[in-house]
Structure 1
C-alpha cells in the first residue's frame, strides 16, 4: 500500500504545482475529447494557478489547498474557497454563502488508487473542524461526474448541454 502524505502547499511547491495542473488538465481534456479547446484548457490552468496564488498569499484564508505526495512527487490536489462565479450564476445565487470544494486533481498515472477519496475525506475533515456543515461541488467533465454521482448521488443542478451538445454541467450541494 502506498504511503500518501497530505499537507498544505508552500511557496516552494508553486512551480511543481503549476506543472502538475498542466499535466492533469491536458490529460483531462484529452480523455474528454475536447483537447482542441485550447483557450478553455489554458483558462482552466490559469484559474488553478490563481486559486493557488490566493491560497499562498492569504495563508489559506481566501482559498485553501491540500496536496497529496508520494515519495516526494505531487500526485493530487484539492482546494476549497467561496463558491465560484459559475456556481453562483447557475444556481441564481442560492449557493453564494457556501464553500466550494474543487481542483480535485490526481495525476493520471495515480488515478483509480483512492487518492482523490483520501484528499476529499481530508478536506471534509478540515471543513468540519471549521464548523462548516455543507459545501458544494461542480463539474463539467463526464469522468469526474461519474465519480461524484457514485459518491454523492444525483446533483442538485443538471445543466443539460451547458458546454456543448452532450456536455453537461452538474452541481452538488453536500451536507457533512
Structure 2
C-alpha cells in the first residue's frame, strides 16, 4: 500500500469506504473506552454518521445545512474522515443552546492500524484551512471519549463546557469552542 497521505473532499465514490471507516473505528473507540457493550449506542452512532455522509453528498442538499466531509487516503484507500456541519444535539444540550449557530467539527475517525501517523492532524489542518477559506471564524467540537478529551485538552486547554456524568457515572461530555485561526496554529 502507498504510504502517501492525501486529503480530499468526500465524493460519492468514497461513500462506502468512508462508512467502513465508521464501522471499524466507532466500535473500537467504544471498546477502548470500556463501553464496547453498548451495542445500540454503537449502531446509533454509525447510523448517524452514515446519514451525515448521505446529507453531505446530496447535490441539492440545503446549503444552510453546510455539511461537508474530507477524507484521508493512503494510496487509494480511505483511512480517515472529518466533517463540518451544524452542531449536534449533545452540544446543544450541554451548552443550553448557546452554540446553536456555531458549526461543529466532527466525525474525526482514523483507522486503528494507522493511528499515530499524523493522519488526524492532517485532517484537522485541512478542515481548518477550508473553514478559513469559507470565512468561518469559529467552530465547536465535543467528545464523550476520555482519550479524545485528553488530546483536545492538551491542544486547546480547558473545555467551554463539561457536562458531568453525561454518559453515566464518571463519564463526562466536553465541548470546546475554538477560533479557526488559533486552531490552525495549534495543529501545525
The two structures have a TM-score, normalised by structure 1, of 0.95
Q: Which residue of 1 aligns with 2:131?
A: 127
Q: What secondary structure sits across from 2:101 in the alignment?
A: coil
Question: Structure 1 or 2: larger strand share?
Answer: 1
Q: How many angstroms does 1:4 deviate by?
A: 0.6
Q: Which residue of 2 aligns with 1:156?
A: 160
Q: Which residue of 2 aligns with 1:107?
A: 111
How far apart in 2 are the matches of 1:15 and 1:104?
A: 16
How far apart in 2 are the matches of 1:76 and 1:17?
A: 7
Deviates most, 58-67 or 88-97: 58-67
| Count of residues paired in the alignment | 176
Q: Which of 65, 71, 77 in structure 2 is aligned with 1:73?
A: 77
Q: Per-residue displacement from partner, 1:109-165 (whole Å, max 9, x unpaired)? A: 111111111100110111111111110000000111111111111101011111011
How far apart in 2 are the matches of 1:100 and 1:59?
A: 21
CA 1:59/1:118 → structure 2, altered by over 3 Å: closer, same or farther? farther
Q: Which residue of 2 aligns with 1:45?
A: 46
Q: Which residue of 2 aligns with 1:168?
A: 172
CA 1:171/1:141 → structure 2, altered by over 3 Å: closer, same or farther? same
Q: What secondary structure sits across from 2:136 in the alignment?
A: coil
CA 1:13/1:83 → structure 2, altered by over 3 Å: closer, same or farther? same
Structure 2 residue ranges without an equivalent (≥5):
181-188
Q: Which residue of 2 aligns with 1:3?
A: 4
The two structures have a TM-score, normalised by structure 2, of 0.89
How far apart in 2 are the matches of 1:29 and 1:45?
A: 12
How far apart in 1 are the matches of 2:149 and 2:32?
A: 13
Q: What secondary structure sits across from 2:165 in the alignment?
A: strand
Q: How many angstroms does 1:5 deviate by?
A: 0.7
How far apart in 2 are the matches of 1:152 and 1:110?
A: 24
How far apart in 2 are the matches of 1:12 and 1:59?
A: 17
Residues 106 and 141 in structure 2, CA contact (< 8 A), matched pair in contact too = yes
